[in-house]
Amino acid sequence: MTTTPRTTLNDPTVEVLDQAECLALLGAQRLGRLAVTRGPDVGPHVVPVNYTLLRGSIVFRSAPGTKLHRLVTEPVTFEVDSFDPYMRSGWSVVVEGIAYEASDREMEFEDINLRPLVERQNSRWARLVPRSMTGRRITAG
């Protein structure tokens, strides 16, 4: 954990979080943002997903479409954050990695507590295996 020092009493402090802290923050939330590529000349496709952690990987359900197609062909980025405007403090965790469509058979014996935001009859399991995980916490002076 690295902390940026304050230059005055009102300056915010930025703290770099270690992997254990990042995993703890990811485990405490249920909604994140998944970014997948759309093409060389197009910006990323960013969508909210509800998720859960499963032994260090991020698990969610997705209906077939752009998100599911792209996440199994390209690296993805996943972001979760929290911010308190009154206290002027918050944190962010960014996970980069490879995702794949997990089979029902792979997931059937897992104890997964995940309720989809939107029930879709044809939704599939997706699992993001992190390659890197970074986090920052900002605290007001």
- Domain boundaries of the chain, sorted by first residue: 2-139
- For the entire predicted model, the pTM comes to 0.82
Between CA 116 and CA 134 the distance in angstroms is 26
pLDDT digits (tens, 9 = 90+) for 81-129: 999 998 889 999 999 999 998 877 777 666 666 555 556 566 788 899 9
Architecture of the domain delimited by 2-139: Roll (2.30)
60: its two tokens = 């969610």
- Token readout for 25 is 């923050």
Q: What is the sign of the dihedral through the CA atoms of 127, 72, 33 and 117?
A: negative
